[in-house]
Amino acid sequence: MSHLNEHGITHLRHVDLAVPDYETQRTFYKEVWGITETGTDGDLSYLAAEGSPEQYVIRLRKSADKRLDLIAFGADNAASVDALAQQLGSRGVQLVSEPGELQTAGGGYGFRFFDIDGRTIEISADVETRRHRAVEEGESVPVRLSHAVMNSTDPNKTRDFYADVLGFKLSDTLWGEHMGEMMHFMRCNDWHHSLAIARGPHTSVHHVSFELRGLDEYMRATGRAMRAGTKKIWGPGRHNAGNNTFSYFLDPSGNTMEYTTELARLDSDIWHPQVFDIADPDTQDLWGTADPMSEIIARDSFNDPDSGVFVAPPV
């Protein structure tokens, strides 16, 4: 099975968010969402998933403006980092930083650039891993960061950028009769998607997803968030594309966060992308336990327009 991205991109590392309500967000992620704060640095908080070797899966930064600071992907080695940076530069992609030592938890070697929508993307290798552990039966804390979904005003153009420039593969597409192609699921390894691009009114975070150990742990986590009074947008249910479960909640800043489990793994050599009609109830939810997708549900995940488009984060 051939799963390696042609540019050596291996996996999703972390998603970094700037938030005005920094202390409220720290408390939410630690006490409700179930990820572990492994360190702080001034106005930064690093939060890790117990089952993941990544130093952190979410970074919070205290800021007057709510924004996506960056999405970080791993690479297999420093040579791949250098080669990709050179290739992006030659194709006119705007680099935010040249390859070099990263000044962050776990260090590493990497660079940053703006994607076609103006998000800051980081590619890194040689990041020190953290001591992690097997999440136990019944333990409703995230095992790892599963995927990130971003809103784009032109999802086909964004899909093509990630496919043509960064070597991501298209797994599946959601389609609607009146809206056309609504969401593209993209992979850089054998997980069905590490990144997805949704059609939205502006560039913003659609949702960030966290993998739980199994169905029981996923349901326990969903219940914990509900009992804490967290606004649930949609779920619990099971998507058709990717076959993963879903429970969507709003964090205190209005970013959508998802609990999931059992995301499909694909044999890239034989997989053929499918197009799923969003009018089919099974496309939305194979179980039939979630409310039908509506404009109200969709609007919550449009999020606020991102103030960080084509503006590099300060750290």
pTM over 0.75: yes
| pLDDT (tens digit per residue) in 11-69 | 999 999 999 999 999 999 999 999 999 999 999 999 999 999 999 999 999 999 999 99
* CB hemisphere CA count around 281 (13 angstroms): 6
Percentage of the chain exceeding pLDDT 70 = 99
Same fold, 9-125 and 144-300: yes
Q: Is the pLDDT of residue 1 over 70?
A: no
Please give the average per-residue pLDDT across 154-173, as a whole number.
98
Amino acid code (one letter) for 289: T
Find the range with the poorest average confidence among 11-15, 176-180, 232-236, 307-311. 176-180
pLDDT at 3: 53
- Say if residues 71 and 117 touch (Cβ distance below 8 Å): no
Kindly tell me if the per-residue pLDDT of 2 is higher than 60: no
Q: How far apart are the first and last CA of the chain?
A: 38
> To the nearest whole percent, how much of the chain has pLDDT over 90?
95
pLDDT in tens, 180-225: 999 999 999 999 999 999 999 999 999 999 999 999 999 999 999 9
Rounded CA gap, 245 and 253, in Å?
24
Q: Report how far residue 70's alpha carbon sits from residue 14's, in angstroms, rounded to the nearest whole number.
A: 8
User: Which pLDDT band, with edges at 50, 70 and 90, does 268 fall under?
Assistant: confident
CATH 3.90.1150.10 fits 9-125, yes or no: no
CATH superfamily of 144-300: 2,3-Dihydroxybiphenyl 1,2-Dioxygenase, domain 1 (3.10.180.10)
Does residue 297 register a pLDDT over 50?
Answer: yes
Chain segment 95-107, per-residue pLDDT in tens:
999 999 999 999 9
User: What are the residue boundaries of the structural domains of the chain, listed by start?
Assistant: 9-125, 144-300
Structure-token match 């260090």, residue found: 107
> What is the average per-residue pLDDT within 65-78?
98
Q: How far is CA 191 from the centre of its chain?
A: 13
